Amino acid sequence: MYKAIQAGKDTWWVGVNDKETDKFESLWPLPQGVAYNAYVIIGTTATVAIDTVKGPYLDEYYNKLLQALNGRTLNYLVINHMEPDHAGLISQLKAKWPALKFIGNAKTMPLLKGYHGISDDVITVKDGDTLDLGGHVLKFATVPMLHWPESMVTFDTTTGILFSNDSFGGFGAHEGGIFDDEKTNSRWEDEMLRYYACIVGKYSNIVQVALKKLSALNIEYIYPSHGTLFRENIKQVISLYDKWSKFESEKGAVVVYGSMYGNTRRMAEAVCTGLSKAKVKDVRLYDVSRTDPSYLLRDIWKFKALALLSCTYNTQLYPPMEALCSKLLSRMPKNKILGLAGSYSWSKGALTALQGFAEKVKLEVVDPQVEVFTSPTEEDLQKCCELGQNLGEALA
Ligand code: FEO
């Protein structure tokens, strides 16, 4: 990955790995790093770069770009998205090639001026507009809110490559091959779903609109700006996006608890026992204080049943549970079944708050809703087990 990699006819990957940033957007952990994929197409009459990379990677990007250009000048930069992980080096490209033309849509331009002071030499495109590079004709399609209002994708009608920017992206730096046929699916799918749940999932209804728009294109390859480049699993990747954006999930359960002294944890374990009695084989038990929310969101997206159990803290939800509920409310997951339980000692609060959350998130709640005083009795644990069993049976 220290060199430009040919990714199709006249098409080069010139991206970089980032193994230094510990949190994407300073929010989401990156234990496996992240890749910023950028591309160059060498036409007979013009050359085009598609997106750049994050600012600190200038030298590495620039070296690969020059390798791919092989002595040609750079004529165009397509800006699919203005977020600085892809648009970080626009000013530097302008300094190197003063005649460079910048291609974006109407919503790109104020951001281009704001971040880089560029308002000349711009070409504003709209849906369906094309650019002929000689031997390659690019077509542009806006995909607003995937991941911000100005986002768009670029399709090479000659090679069938969709440069999809954030859409179809995933966390994780490249390790060895950059293409899907060079790694097992498990190496990309989990981190792609975590990326989806954290970054894209809030806009799932818009993903459906975008998928319909993109279905008119004869897509043979999907090259996103993060993560794996797809040249083999195209149908599968599109189908995953279709499934995730429709909130279609698998038979399985996520049980998340917030517990200070272990009492609510024991209730959660009893819920898991109930799920197991109902023959649910995929049960994930998480301590909300010790699991990053991105992994919780990923698995909540993946599985149909969700149990939330919280102790009471200052008459309300335990703070990390409150933060998780807030993240779920901003994403409004659908087609899930919910189980709720709370515990309290000096004053009630957690279960009532969870019930308020359930009302707002509009998910089906399975009985019994369990409320426990101090530490759970055998009878309390039996109720939690019953809740797990009912959740499991509702999955059948
Ligand atoms: Fe990868 Fe929305 O930037």
21 Cα: distance to centroid of ligand 1 (angstroms): 14
pLDDT at 1: 72
18: Cβ below 6 Å to ligand 1? no
Contact predicate 234/214, CB 8 Å:
no
Q: Ligand 1: does its nearest atom lie under 6 Å from the Cβ of 150?
A: no
Contact 54 CB / ligand 1 (< 6 Å): no
Closest atom of ligand 1 relative to the 151 alpha carbon: 2
Ligand 1 centroid from CA 170, angstroms: 11
Burial pattern 97-118, b for ≥16 Cβ within 10 A else e, equals beebbbbbbebbbebbeeebeb
Ligand 1 center from residue 80 Cα (angstroms): 10
Question: Nearest 5°: CA angle at 16, between 12 and 21?
Answer: 160
| Interatomic CA distance for residues 169 and 80, integer angstroms | 14
Query: What is the Cα–Cα distance from 77 to 39, expressed in whole angstroms?
Result: 10
Instruction: State whether the beta carbon of 86 lies less than 6 angstroms from ligand 1.
Output: yes
State how far the Cα of 304 lies from the Cα of 244, in Å rounded to an integer: 12
Q: Is the CB of 194 under 6 A from ligand 1?
A: no
Nearest-CA residue for ligand 1 atom 1 is 166
Give kind and range of the element (H or E) at residue 123: strand 122-124
Count the helix, strand and coil residues of the chain and give each as a percent rounded to the nearest 5: 35, 25, 35
Distance separating alpha carbons of residues 281 and 81, to the nearest angstrom:
41
User: Exposed/middle/buried for 96, CB within 10 Å: 0-12, 13-18, 19+?
Assistant: middle
CB count, 10 Å around CB of 227? 23
DSSP 39-98: EEEE-SS-EEEE----GGGHHHHHHHHHHHHTTPPP-EEE-S--SHHHHTTHHHHHHH-T
Query: Which runs of E-coded beta strand occur in 181-271?
Result: 221-224, 250-258
Q: Tokens 């319909």 appear where?
A: 212
pLDDT of residue 2: 83
Distance 82 CA to ligand 1 centre (A): 8
- In this prediction, residue 269 carries a pLDDT of 98
Phi (first) and psi of residue 43, to 5 degrees: -85, 175
Sequence-ordered list of residues with C-beta below 8 angstroms from that of 392, at least 6 positions apart, any chain: 253, 274, 275, 276, 277, 278, 279, 280, 305
Q: Which atom of ligand 1 is nearest to the CA of 148?
A: 2
Q: Tens place of pLDDT for every residue, the chain, 396 residues?
A: 789 999 999 999 999 999 999 999 999 999 999 999 999 999 999 999 999 999 999 999 999 999 999 999 999 999 999 999 999 999 999 999 999 999 999 999 999 999 999 999 999 999 999 999 999 999 999 999 998 999 999 999 999 999 999 999 999 999 999 999 999 999 999 999 999 999 999 999 999 999 999 999 999 999 999 999 999 999 999 999 999 999 999 999 999 999 999 999 999 999 999 999 999 999 999 999 999 999 999 999 999 999 999 999 999 999 999 999 999 999 999 999 999 999 999 999 999 999 999 999 999 999 999 999 999 999 999 999 999 999 999 998
Helices 234-245 & 204-214 angle (0-180, nearest 10):
140
Cα separation, 169 vs 195, whole angstroms: 7
Cα 48 to ligand 1 centre (Å): 20
Residue with CA nearest ligand 1 atom 3: 83
Q: Is the CB of 386 under 6 A from ligand 1?
A: no
Query: What is the predicted pLDDT for the residue at 113?
Result: 98
Cα 150 to middle of ligand 1, angstroms: 11
Give the distance (Å) from ligand 1 centre to CA of residue 202: 14
Our answer on whether the CB atom of 51 is closer than 6 Å to any ligand 1 atom is no
Find the radius of gyration of the CA atoms of the chain. Answer: 24
- Ligand 1 pocket residue status of 302, Cβ below 6 Å: no
Task: Report the distance separating Cα 73 and Cα 68, nearest Å.
Answer: 11
For ligand 1, whether the C-beta of 81 sits within 6 Å is yes
Task: Give pTM, 2 decimals.
Answer: 0.96
For residues 151 and 166, the answer to whether their CB atoms sit within 8 Å is: yes
Q: What is the reported pLDDT for 179?
A: 98
Cis check: omega of the bond before 110, within 30 degrees of 0 = no
Tens-digit pLDDT profile for residues 72-113? 999 999 999 999 999 999 999 999 999 999 999 999 999 999
How many angstroms separate the alpha carbon of residue 169 from the centre of ligand 1? 9
Contact 336 CB / ligand 1 (< 6 Å): no
CA–CA separation, 294 vs 374, rounded Å?
30
Tell how far the Cα of 85 is from the centroid of ligand 1, in angstroms: 6
